[in-house]
């Protein structure tokens, strides 16, 4: 009879609150693992882990140039479980960047960003930006060589923005160079402002998911509804346990990196940006800053924020890749763009020296317009081929554009991360 007793137990208010994040009953297709891969839920979990470990680290961390590095050493060597908590924080942050990228891809390719979900796509992108911002501001805090020069490199990129670049970089750093003012800026953003914004935006994000009727699903005649408890809850607990277990195990063996204390007089060779920004740094190696730091980031941002609002002819909400043609095009265009970007970078590095050949013309043309066209023209031709020969709709064409952009960025990131050694030269 113990069973009956537990059935009648009234949940506490806290339990009720958590359970109200979900509806009572849910479409059985929505809780199939390969519909969402649980990515959104993993992100929420990571946010909780990061908040808890971050708050714990705050007890020992001192945000001044004199003491920051030593306090990290103190956490590592003289604190019970100090290094473990730091590892956990470091790993969760890395995983969060990766998972939020995957979440973005999942939502996009399952066509879940249109109509009533369009607004939530915007909030999602803002949250993605916050993930990068919190990761980047946290990057500086250990005040080691890695931190110092990565932040120097990125804030210098900001300076390339015309008109407001210098002031914006100054506002970010609180100074002309990365110093104590920058550290206190980043610390405040990292441990105060950004987490607060996260809570607000996450609430809106979740609420809008519920308001849109949950996970986007293809239209169907017959719907089968199942109870959220235990069907969905059980899966959520499983995924959460696996993520927590995995992170704990890895944190025991993997050490969060800590190089020598920051030295503004000596740049390590090579000096790389944080890994998720390496694609942007790679772009700047080949393109004039006006293209690499202004035109391309700006148009990419416009493109992504505009994605739900273009005029589509045949949107199939909830259908992976929209159609079988869309699937074919997405896979092919991302593979082609990956290979093409790789080859183009290799050729640009070894054979094409426009800055020397055309030293007479302004560098905006020789290292800006020319390489830019070298990249865009062949890909535009490729898209035109799909349009002419396969009667691809604009939905599929735009999806192929997105695939090309994402895949090129990933390619540049990997090249910069893995294939560039001293002096940022290719290692082959």
Partner 1 sequence: MKLNRRKFIKRILIVAASIEAVFLLKDGVSKIDTFSSKELFNAGKADSFEKNKLYPFSTGQFFLKRFEDGGFLAMSVKCTHLGCVVNANSKTGGFNCPCHASQFNKFGEVLSAPATRPLDIFPIRIENGEILVDTRKPVKRSSYNKSQLTYA
Given a contact cutoff of 8 angstroms between Cβ atoms, the answer to whether 66 and 258 are in contact is no
Does 152 bind partner 1 (CB under 8 A)? Our answer is yes
Residue span binding partner 1 (CB under 8 A) among the ranges 42-50, 137-145, 151-159, 301-309? 151-159
Q: Which of 109/149 has CB closer to partner 1?
A: 149
Q: Can residue 289 be called a binding residue for partner 1 (CB under 8 A)?
A: yes
Q: Which long-range contacts (CB under 8 A, 24 or more apart) does 369-372 make?
A: 369/291, 371/286, 371/287, 372/287, 372/291
- 153 touches partner 1 by CB under 8 A: yes
For residue 230, say if its preceding peptide bond is cis, omega within 30 degrees of 0.
yes
Give yes or no for residue 424 binding partner 1 (CB under 8 A): yes
E strand or H helix at 225, and its extent?
A: strand 225-227
Question: How far is residue 382 from each of residues 59, 208, 218, 322, measured CA to CA in Å?
Answer: 55, 37, 30, 20
Give yes or no for residue 314 binding partner 1 (CB under 8 A): no
Rg (CA), the chain: 24
Distance, in Å, from the CA atom of 74 to the CA atom of 144, rounded to the nearest integer, reads 14
| Token pair for 347 | 């050729």
**Interacting residues with partner 1 between 117 and 146 (CB under 8 A):** none
Instruction: Choose between 59 and 428: whose C-beta lies nearer to partner 1.
Output: 428
Task: Report if residue 422 touches partner 1, rule: CB under 8 A.
Answer: yes
Task: Compute how many other C-beta atoms are within 10 angstroms of the C-beta atom of residue 361.
Answer: 14
User: Which residues, including other chains, have CB under 8 Å from residue 345's CB and lie 6 or more apart?
Assistant: 282, 286, 411, 412, 415, 426
Q: Which residue has the tokens 């990061």?
A: 50
Distance CA 66, CA 180 (A): 9
Among positions 228-287, residues that touch partner 1 (CB under 8 A) are 264-267, 269-271, 281, 284-286
Q: By CB under 8 A, is residue 423 in contact with partner 1? A: yes
- From the list 92-100, 128-136, 164-172, 209-217, the region that binds partner 1 by CB under 8 A is 164-172
Min. distance of Cβ 11 from partner 1 in angstroms? 42
**Cβ proximity to partner 1, 149 vs 386, nearer residue:** 149
> Whose CA is closest to 405, among 381, 375, 365?
375
Q: Select from 105, 168, 294, 336 the one that contacts partner 1 (CB under 8 A).
A: 168
Please count the residues of this chain forming the interface with partner 1, following the rule CB under 8 A. 40
171 binding partner 1? (CB under 8 A): yes
Q: Does 15 bind partner 1 (CB under 8 A)?
A: no
CA 349 – CA 286 distance, rounded (Å): 8
CB under 8 A, 24+ apart: contacts of 5-13: none
Joined together, the tokens standing for residue 127 give 């949250």
Give the x-and-dash track for 355-384 against partner 1 (CB under 8 A). xx------x---x-----------------
Is 52 a binding residue for partner 1 by CB under 8 A? The answer is: no
Under the criterion CB under 8 A, does residue 180 sit at the interface with partner 1? Answer: yes
Residue 288 binding partner 1, by CB under 8 A: yes
Comparison of 125 and 184: residue with beta carbon closer to partner 1? 184
Closer to partner 1 at the Cβ: 64 or 231?
64
- Is 64 a residue that touches partner 1 (CB under 8 A)? no
Query: CA–CA separation, 371 vs 347, rounded Å?
Result: 11
Q: Closest approach of Cβ 146 to partner 1, in Å? A: 13
Q: How far is the CB of 128 from partner 1 (least distance, A)?
A: 23
| Chain residues in the site for partner 1 (CB under 8 A) | 149, 152-153, 155-157, 164, 167-168, 170-171, 174-177, 179-181, 184, 264-267, 269-271, 281, 284-286, 288-289, 355-356, 363, 367, 422-425
């Amino acid at each position: 009879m113990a069973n009956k007793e537990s059935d009648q137990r009234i949940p506490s208010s806290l339990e009720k609150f958590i359970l109200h994040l979900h509806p009572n009953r849910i479409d059985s297709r929505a809780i199939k693992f390969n519909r969402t891969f649980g990515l959104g839920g993993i992100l929420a979990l990571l946010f909780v882990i990061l908040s808890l470990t971050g708050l714990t680290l705050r007890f020992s961390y001192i945000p001044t140039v004199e003491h920051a590095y030593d306090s990290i050493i103190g956490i590592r060597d003289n604190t019970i479980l100090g290094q473990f908590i730091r590892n956990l924080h470091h790993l969760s942050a890395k995983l969060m960047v990766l998972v939020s990228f995957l979440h973005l891809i999942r939502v996009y390719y399952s066509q879940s960003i249109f109509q009533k979900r369009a607004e939530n796509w915007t909030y999602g992108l803002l949250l993605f930006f916050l993930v990068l911002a919190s990761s980047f501001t946290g990057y500086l805090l250990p005040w080691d060589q890695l931190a110092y020069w990565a932040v120097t490199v990125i804030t210098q990129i900001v300076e390339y923005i015309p008109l407001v670049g210098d002031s914006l970089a100054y506002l970010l750093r609180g100074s002309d160079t990365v110093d104590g003012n920058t550290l206190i800026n980043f610390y405040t953003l990292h441990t105060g402002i950004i987490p607060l914004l996260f809570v607000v935006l996450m609430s809106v994000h979740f609420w809008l998911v519920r308001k849109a009727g949950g996970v986007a699903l293809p239209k169907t005649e017959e719907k089968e509804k199942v109870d959220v408890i235990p069907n969905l809850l059980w899966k959520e607990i499983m995924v959460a346990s696996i993520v927590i277990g995995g992170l704990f195990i890895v944190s025991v063996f993997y050490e969060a990196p800590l190089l020598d204390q920051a030295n503004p007089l000596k740049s390590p060779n090579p000096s790389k940006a944080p890994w998720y920004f390496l694609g942007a740094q790679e772009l700047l190696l080949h393109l004039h800053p006006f293209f690499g730091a202004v035109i391309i980031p700006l148009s990419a941002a416009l493109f992504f924020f505009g994605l739900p609002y273009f005029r589509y002819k045949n949107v199939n909400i909830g259908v992976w890749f929209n159609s079988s043609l869309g699937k074919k095009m997405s896979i092919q265009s991302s593979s082609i763009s990956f290979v093409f970007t790789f080859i183009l970078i290799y050729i640009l590095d070894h054979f094409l020296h426009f800055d020397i050949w055309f030293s007479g013309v302004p560098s905006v043309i020789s290292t800006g317009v020319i390489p830019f066209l070298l990249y865009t023209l062949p890909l535009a031709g490729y898209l035109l081929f799909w349009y002419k020969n396969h009667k691809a709709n604009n939905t599929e064409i735009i999806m192929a554009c997105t695939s090309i952009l994402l895949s090129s960025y990933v390619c540049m990131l990997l090249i910069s991360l893995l294939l560039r050694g001293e002096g940022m030269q290719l290692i082959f």
